[in-house]
Structures are given as structure tokens and as C-alpha cells.
Structure 1
């Protein structure tokens, strides 16, 4: 009992003139605790001190004294918080796509393939070329003859068979032969029956004549491109050739008769 009184006296002296605070109830202000200072305790009446202090038993001396109660810190004044700079909001998808949604999306269409040009239409088969008509060799050119003097004058013409048979009695031809001192029996008349000329080599196989008169165009092969009308020329093997117009033209044209007579004088009477 004495020990309890001594402890009580010790705490009363230790907390003398010390303000104590009582934590208010939580229901005073919701969300914030208000510190209300507790009323100061009335100073306890001093106990009468005995004249002689009692001797403290060893157990009381060895017992540790309780530490003084810590004074709660005063609340710091509230300051307006400075808002931190707002960071850029990170977009958060409200709903992630499902695998079914992804599978339902159509696959990207492949790029259009290059248009294949249409195959060219097959060309029509070329028509067979018409067979070319090869001209028979001039040595095979057909002709007919009148007269039997192999060494006489050769006269070439191109006319129908009926007129050719009447040619020995032609007045113009007979007068022409008289001018060079010849008659029809001294000559050989040859009618070229083709549009092609007759070959000189063919005539030389049957006739030995050295002089030829051609009444018309394209009658003798070696004289087609090398002669002009009324200009006598000397051919191969010393054969003289005189080209002239057709007999029908000469009979009615005196100017042509004159040209022919001048050419015959150079060929037979020179």
C-alpha cells in the first residue's frame, strides 16, 4: 500500500503543469480527426510528507519507472497541394477483340493478277501460190516456113496462118525484093507462132542464111533489146539483122517505106 502511494505521488509530481490532450471520438468529424486539448487536471493536493522518508525496499528500487508519455505532435497547417502535371492518358481499350471477331475479318484480297493478253488468233493458212508458168526455152518456139532456099534471105513475121499463106503474093513484099534484085523464090518466109521470139540458134540449124529482116517486134531472141527500127546490126556468126514495122503498117505509110528503103540500101547495096 505504501508502494502504490509512493508511485502515485511520483506521477503526480512528474505531470504537474503539463497539459494533457484527449483524442476526440471518430464520430466528431467524418474523415478527419480533430485534436481537442483536454482540460487541465487540477493540481493534486500534496500529501503530508513524513518527517523521515521511509526506506524503499529493494524491489521498489529495482523496478523500472514507466517512460513519460510522449507529447503528440501538433498538426501541421494544411496547405493547398500543387497538382502534378497531368500525363498524357494512355488509351486503354474498353474491350479487347475476341478471337471470333478477328477470325470473322475477311483476309486481304490478293493483288489482281496481270491480265493475260488474249492468244492471237491463228493466222489463216497461206493460200498456195499459183503454179508459175515457166516459159519454154526459146529453142522450142514453134514457127512455120514457106520457101526452100537454105542460103537465101530469111524474112520473119507474126500473123495468122491464113494471111501467112497469102504472103508470097503480097505486092509490097514483091516490089521490095525487086528493089534488091531478088524474087520470092530466093527467100524463106518464117511465121513465129508464139508471143515469144524464136531462137537464132534454132534457125541456124536448118538455114544457112546470113541476112534476116524482121517485120514486127520481139521476133528474134538476140535482137530484142539490142536493136532499133530501121537500124541494121550485125549479130553473132556475122548474121546481119534489120528490124522494121509490120508489113500492114508499111503498106500505108510512105514515110516508113522511105526509112526502110534507106536501111536496106546500107545492108544490101553498100
Structure 2
């Protein structure tokens, strides 16, 4: 900007003020040496009050420094014998577990009960054989005489019978035990040893299923002959569950009335097992008859 323009600007800006033009410097001087126009004293800013001496905030808030101990103030190092200080780190190890002797089988000893370990193998494997129980007959009346037979019908005897050829099947090996007569299907006969009612009745007589022989009459109408049974069984005690099961007892016996046939064969007839299972009155009659027959 030239001096004429600068003068015109300040003249218009500062009214009532005398302005002057600074003399131009020599032509050979540098532009940086040009003196800046001075400002009148009235327009100069008032001088600021003297500032307070600056105080470092860290010095005002920081606690006094603790003097660092010098090498002379430090305590002398304690000398430790080299034998007391380990040169390598010591790692704590658990105490060694003593090994069990190989001859002691730990698992087998824990799984075998003490009683089984001391019992001889022969006594533990071979069970004791149960002795057969023989029932003692009570005082029974003799069977009444058979009524006059119809024309053409022959009264059977213990040695001969017109129905000697009627087939039958048996379950059980005690030939001298109690004979239980039934007339059921082959499937029902195979399930009969697990019948709850029959097992409970034998239990009351202190018997089990192995003490008796089950006989199934395989003809739907005719009875089995006593002479045919005597060829395989030596038993003389019969318990019949059903009608018309033994030839010599067809005309001489009544249900729930135990009798002696021919002086040596005890016989007791009752209803079918499937009927007795659900009839408490017949059960009571049967038990009373069994008590009279065996004296229990």
C-alpha cells in the first residue's frame, strides 16, 4: 500500500486528529526496516497491571520431595553364606505314593463279599436237596357204595376200567406225592405251576410245586382210569379240580367231601381252579375239606 492511500484511510478514520507521514527510508534499505506508523497516545491501549510472578502449580500442590538416600546412607548389604542360598529354585514335590504289591488284586477283593470268600466253592454251587414232604391222612370216612349202574355200564375197579385208554399228561417227578387232577388246555396246563391260587394252597399245606404231580385229563368227557395212573404213579392222595376226572370216584364222591376209596386211596373233589380263584365261599369250603383230609 502506498503512503497516499494510507494517509487518506487514517484521515477519514481519525477525525479531529493530526496525522503525519513518516519519511520514506532510503532506496537502498530493505523493506523490513520501514518504520510502522505510530499510534497517538490517546489511542494506545492502557498498560496492563504487572502480572504476579508465576508459581508452578506442581510446586504448590506437590508434597515436599523426599530426599533420595545416597549410597552412603544405605545400610550395608548383609552377607549370606553361599551354602544357605540355593543356586537353583526349589520346587515342592508331593511325597511318593507307595506302590501296592502286585500279588493283591484290589478290585477282586472289594467285589467279593466276605461270606462268599470264606465259603468253599462246592458248598456255594451245589444247593442242598430238599427232602420230600409226606402228608399224613386224617380219619376219613369210607366212600359209600356205588349206586346200581345203568344197563350196559360197568363200574370200574382199581385194576380194570372201561376208560383205561383215556390219555393224560403229567408235570412233576415226585411219583409218591400228592396228585392234582385237572382238565384244561395244553397251554393252560403248562402255565399251571405258576398259578397263584394253587401255590398258595400248597404253601398252606407246607408243600411246594415240586412235591406234587399235576395230571391233565386230555379227554373232554371221560375220566382217567385209576389203574392207568397206578402204572406210573404210586401216590394214593388225589385232589381233583373239576368234574368226572377219576373213574372210581364218579359215583361215590361229593364235592368238598374227602373220602377213602377202597380203604387206601384218599380223594377230594372241588370246583375248577378258575372258579375257585374268584369265589371266597368255595375257597372256605375247600380249605375246611383239606384240613379234614390231611389233619392240619
TM-score by length of 1: 0.49
Larger Rg: 1
